Structure 1
Amino acid sequence: MRKFLNKVLLVGAISLFANNLFAQETICYKNGVTSPSEIETTPLNGIVCKNQLSVNDMKKDGWNVLDIQIKTVDGKLNYSYYFYKIDSLKAAPKINSVNEKAEFSVRPIGTKIMNLENNKSTINVGNLIVGQTGIVVHIYDNDKRSIVANAKVISSNPNSSVVEFFSFDDLKQDALPITNRNVSINDVLVLNYMYNSSLLIAPNFDSFQAVRNEFKENNFIHSDIFAAKLKYNNRPYPTKEDIQQFAMEQNLGTVFFVLDGKIFVVDSKTFTILDSYRFTFDQKEQQIPFYTRVEDIESPFYQIAFIFGDEKLTYNDYYKKILGIK
């Protein structure tokens, strides 16, 4: 029974990873190779390769190699190629970023874990944002892989960065066991995991639509879904923890806040402000707690008193407090 449940968990992790990380991703493999010099022209097995496409064929079709696993079995070589394709991502926003320190993008960044000490690793990717997050993927034989941890950037310079690992709870279910596997050398680190799946907090319909039209790379879950959850829980004024919990449940990597003439892009796990953009919109109409078509979200008296105290905050002031900005 335990073995069956572990398989269910692994399949769930694979499904989550495959459906959401890149526009397309796959693993192709070839076992029993005796001539390594011919591997890039040899047809590979796998869902996409189908014993017809080689590494060179995949590259010509726009696929990129993120990782290669090579194992020796009975004197022969087993190759597994991890391919990804991001050609379906649309144009980046045309509005200007306020951030001048590091270039932000929702597109995933992949690299291998080559060192590990005190639950941290130094990677050869520089100019990252402290608080930027990702996941660590362990690749098993052939086309099996699983997410084993979250990762966050804790320091960065122009040439390298240090990431720290923490528990991946997005698949947590009381009825299923969790994996005991820890991060290990040669696992794959993928930064910006699910950054193109987002929640949008905006004060009115016009700003809500304008941001969605501007950030075409992002898939925005409708704010009505979040509002419905808040209504069910009698919480019309979402806390930071409410937003993070919802983002985890819906597998969202970023949260967009529209306030005070700017758009703030926030990592859903660390709540780090990844970037901000100047954004002109009509601020006369501000819907509390945010733009939604869900009406009459009632709140217990104690929550209103706890959040606002004796002073009722405006839309801008409320979310500034949540983001910790002035």
Structure 2
Amino acid sequence: MHKIALIALLSLPLFAGFFPQTVHTSVKSVKGNTITLNKKFPINGMSGVVIHNYGNDLTAITSRIAQTSSDESIALVSKDILHHDELPTIKTPVSPKDKVIGGYLYNNVLVLAPDADTYAKITSAHHKKWIHPDLFALYLSVEGEEKPTRENLARFAKKYQVGLVYIVRKNSAVLLDPVSEKIVSQKSMTNLPAKGVFPFYMRFKKRGSGWFGSDVEGNYYNTMESL
């Protein structure tokens, strides 16, 4: 009985609670766009970054990666880490012994909630660097987008260094990794409003897009279920 309990305990994810923890490991081998780590990430869908050491205390993030299977296989997602017209693009390939941080920027979280009360409860319950949803609402307005999608969340996350998107759905909450576009955690939620109002929580009055302050394609929860 004790042996069964121990096996069950060891099979649990390697993080406590709703938020996955940052993981530090290194590259074991590289074959094309598939990378094997010395220690796998605790959950599929977790993304991370590869850090190359150039010597003389000079290091740089060279690539984004995401775990795609239950073994140590990692997929190369992008080498476009930082784009600036005045800076050269890093072209260093991923190499064995490169350091890896899984869950990079996971402490930076954007919340999409149905109302201000739910937003306040979430942000007061956890110590995170909260990216205010007003910023995302303004981003969509400037981009001329009518509703959130995984694609515009990925673009927004890259621009504003968002590690996770906390999405409140009907009776539940999920954490979306915007780099891998995969759900990395979920839990049930109660006492949510019956009807959510876009755009989650607003601190400015004037906005350019017509969908703000009203339901889109049915209601808030339908849109959140599609993410």
TM-score, structure 2 as length reference: 0.83
Moved more, 121-130 or 168-177: 121-130
Tell whether 2:51 aligns with 1:134. Answer: no
Partner of 1:318: 223
Instruction: Note the 1:34-53 alignment, pairs <5 A.
Output: none
Higher relative contact order (CA 8 A, sep 6+): 2
**Using the alignment, how far apart are the partners of 2:187 and 2:224 within structure 1?**
16
1:215 — aligned with what? Answer: 126
- Paired position in structure 2 for 1:248: 158
- Give the deviation of 1:112 after TM superposition: 1.8
CA contact (8 A) 1:111 1:189 kept: yes
Shift of 1:183: 0.5
Which residue does the alignment assign to 2:74?
163
Compute the displacement of 1:238 (Å): 2.4
SS at match of 2:87: coil
User: Per the alignment, do residues 180 and 101 of structure 1 end up closer, same or farther by CA in structure 2, a change over 3 Å counting?
Assistant: same
The answer to whether the 8 Å contact 1:265/1:275 transfers is yes
147, 157, 173: which one pairs with 2:61? 147
What are the residue-to-residue correspondences of 1:142-291 with 2, within 5 Å? 142-157=56-71, 161-216=72-127, 218-291=128-201
Q: For 2:40 and 2:92, how far apart are their aligned partners in 1?
A: 28
CA displacement at 1:300 relative to structure 2: 7.0
Paired letter, 1:293:
R
Residues 238, 289 of structure 1: 8 Å contact kept: no
In 2, Cα distance between the equivalents of 1:292 and 1:153? 35
- C-alpha spacing 1:227/1:177, structure 2 compared with 1 (3 Å): same
Query: Is this contact kept in 2: 1:170–1:249, CA < 8 A?
Result: no
Distance 1:112 1:126, change over 3 A: closer
Structure 2: 5+ residue runs without aligned partners? 1-10
Q: What secondary structure is seen at the aligned counterpart in 2 of 1:140?
A: strand
Residues 1:101 and 1:314: Cα distance change in structure 2 (over 3 Å): farther
Aligned residues: 211
Q: Specify every segment of 5 or more residues in structure 1 that has no aligned partner in the other structure, as ranges.
A: 1-99, 302-307
Which protein is bigger by CA-based radius of gyration?
1
Q: Determine the C-alpha separation between the residues in 2 that align with 1:247 and 1:176.
A: 21
Q: What amino acid is aligned across from residue 89 of structure 2 in structure 1? A: I
1:115 aligns with one of 29, 43, 55: 29
Measure the CA separation in 2 of the matches of 1:242 and 1:222. 16
